Structure 1
Amino acid sequence: MDWNAIWQDVISSTISGVLVIIFGGIIAWFAYITGIKGKEKDQKASERKNEIYIPLKYELKSLIRAPSDIWKELKVTEIEKIVEKNDELVVSDYLWKQCEMLLQLINSYNSIDLYNVVGKILCTQFEKKYIELYGSLTHPMTHWDEISGEEFEYEDYDQEFMDFTSVAYDKKNVDTIFKTDPGCEEYYRELGQIAPTEEFIARMFAMVLPKKEQRYARINLENIDCKLLREKKISPAEYMVRDFDFYEKFKNDKKVEDKQEMLDKIKELSFQIYEDVVQKIRSIGKKYEAE
């Protein structure tokens, strides 16, 4: 019996067995680690879907379905988060650029203050009619300069105009104006009656104009092309709102038109991004979550 041959066979078998065990262990360990990493990757993808893409989808959906009310401010926390914290969230460059473009558009939209637009329209009408009635918005003033020892004259705004500026930009007054349906205004005009909004604006004007015995005192009635005013059958404030179609002025204001156009663009861009985000959510679901 060749013991050397037998011993070599034993050693060879042992080494082979050990190698099989070692390689088997390595393969099992690698499979285990790969499985863990795969699960971690799946979990991470699902977390990103739930934390980033789904909230973004619903926010975009709310923008798409936003009412055509340009008075309402648009708030977009998810879009802001993507634009401002992309170093942490790390979405695609394309999605980031689209969201940045949308956020800039929304910020421009929100920056147009319609209360200021209304205030300017009212002040413009007041100024125009006030000059017709009283000749000027200003009056001469004198001031003594102690340094030069001389007196000089300058023009200062009439108190009525300065007071009306505060009235015109008062948000409560603006809100009251828009409580009336513009269609209702047309109905009253067709009947030859003063419309509710027209009446309210006349009251706003009357708040700052001379009252009682001073109501007509500074007006050269002979130069006014309005028989009712010349005969003092209407007040100066009522004259100032005659043929003043406030809603038409507001609708045709450049800033109002710009804001309406921006809202349309916001909805259009939101829809484009929404479709991309929905596709991303579906892709994550199929790749990492499908059973």
Structure 2
Amino acid sequence: MDLIEWNTVFTDVLTGVILLGAGGIVGYFTGKKKSSLAIERKRELYQPLLEELDLLCNFLKKEQIKKIELPLLNESVVNEYKYGFRRKLKEKCNKLNSLLIQYNNINLVSVAQNIIVDIFEESYDELFGSKIDGVSFQSDRYGNSWEVEHIAEPIELIRKANFEKSITLLLQSEGMFDREVCVDSQNEIFEPIYGELVSIFNSALNININGVNFKLPPLKKDIDISPAEYMALNDFFNRFNADIQTIKKNKLRKEIIENTHQIIKELKEIIRKIVDIYEVEEI
């Protein structure tokens, strides 16, 4: 083999070594970049999101009234490019976010308020004969006349009043009656009732208008307890739990918990892989 051929072989080998070395260096720095990005995502994104979702599961076990705010989940949906989730996990996060919006749109305090108003009006009719407190006649300049029914002041008040604080306490005390009333003194029969309901009904019945206490009509039914206590005997929670909005919110709650558990499982798997591939070697 002459000198020119040996030079060619040497050049080819040297070039291969240089390229291999350069490739190794590029691969090394590329690997370091991937490692750094993965560890940063785990620390700054995945772990905080996992903790937020864990808190959500615990929250939903004992709370159904307050709205749920998950800023990190919302961030993962709005700025999904930061998280690098695979398609299926992105879809699960989007679904959970959508379920939470639906859940928050159902106001159980408002549902309870409407039921309380219905119970009050029905009981008022039963106890006092009618929720109409009189009729007036009105006319216009063209000779047209008509009757105007005047709703009793307690009815008007309970329709407009805000009992959010009392209703929240009531909803949190389901099954925990805090007083009893005697419904049959001769046979000594007592029934449990909720104090918050009695308080709400009392506030609507015992009103003061321009410094003067409103005088209730005579009772049309003989009762041994106060009108407010009688109204509170109605099974509020039976109506509340059968309401379509309450049923829908309970169903959403179950879906949210199930979906959250799925996301938590996948996040833990992602974090475990990052630790196994990038962090165990560095320890």
Q: Residue 214 of structure 1 aligns with which residue?
A: 215
Instruction: Note if contact 1:112-1:259 (Cα within 8 Å) is conserved in structure 2.
Output: yes
Correspondence list, 1:194-209, <5 A = 195=193, 196-208=195-207
Shift of 1:136: 3.8
Who is 2:190 aligned against?
192
Report if the CA contact (8 A) 1:64-1:268 is conserved: no
Q: Is the 8 A contact 1:61 1:274 kept in 2?
A: yes
Task: Assess, with a 3 A threshold, how the Cα gap between structure 1 residues 31 and 184 changes in structure 2: closer, same or farther.
Answer: same
Structure whose CA Rg is larger: 1
Q: CA separation of 1:287/1:138 partners in 2, compared to 1, >3 Å: closer, same or farther? A: farther
Looking at structure 2, the residues matched to 239 and 91 of structure 1 have their Cα atoms a distance apart, in angstroms, of 58
1:252 shift after superposition = 3.6
Which stretch shifts more, 194-203 or 262-271? 194-203
8 Å CA contact retained: 2:77, 2:94 = yes
Instruction: Give the aligned residue type for 2:114.
Output: K
Trace 1:220-231 onto structure 2 (pairs within 5 A). Answer: 221=219, 224=220, 226-228=221-223
Equivalent residue for 1:98? Answer: 92
Q: Displacement, 1:71?
A: 1.9
Higher relative contact order (CA 8 A, sep 6+): 1
* 1:92-171 equivalent positions in 2, closer than 5 A: 92-132=86-126, 133-137=128-132, 139-145=134-140, 148=142, 150-155=144-149, 157-167=151-161, 169-171=162-164
- Tell me how far apart the structure 2 counterparts of residues 95 and 105 of structure 1 sit (CA, whole Å): 15
Q: Offset at 1:22? A: 4.3
Match of 2:254 among 249, 261, 264: 264
Q: Which moved more, 1:269-278 or 1:22-31?
A: 22-31
Contact 2:52 2:72 in 1 (8 A): yes
Kept after mapping to 2: 8 A contact 1:74/1:110: yes
The answer as to whether partners of 2:163 and 2:200 remain within 8 angstroms in 1 is no
Find the counterpart in structure 1 of residue 68 from structure 2: 74
Aligned partners of 2:181 and 2:215: how far apart in 1? 31
Q: Distance in 2 between matches of 1:180 and 1:40?
A: 55
Q: What corresponds to 1:183 in structure 2?
A: 176
Other-structure match for 1:50: 43
The count of residues paired between Structure 1 and Structure 2 equals: 271
Alignment TM-score, normalising by the size of structure 1: 0.75
The normalised TM-score by structure 2 is: 0.77
5+ unaligned residues in a row in structure 2: which ranges? 183-187
User: 1:42 deviation in Å?
Assistant: 1.8
> For 2:271, which of 250, 265, 281 is the aligned residue?
281
- Asked if structure 1 preserves the Cα contact closer than 8 Å seen for 2:73 and 2:93, the reply is yes
Structure 1 unmatched runs, 5+:
none
Preserved CA contact (<8 Å) 2:207 2:214: no
Q: CA deviation at 1:111?
A: 1.5
What letter corresponds to residue 113 of structure 1 in structure 2?
N
Query: Structure 1 residues 56 and 161 mapped into 2: Cα distance closer, same or farther (>3 Å)?
Result: same
Confirm or deny: 8 A CA contact 1:160 1:209 kept in the other structure.
no
SS in 2 for 1:273: helix
Higher share in helix: 1
Q: Matches of 1:176 and 1:276 in 2, distance apart?
A: 37
* CA spacing shift, 1:271–1:227, aligned 2, 3 Å: same
Partner secondary structure for residue 71 of structure 1: coil
Q: Return the alpha-carbon distance in structure 1 between the equivalents of residues 133 and 273 of structure 2.
A: 69
CA–CA separation in structure 2 for the residues paired with 1:152 and 1:34: 90
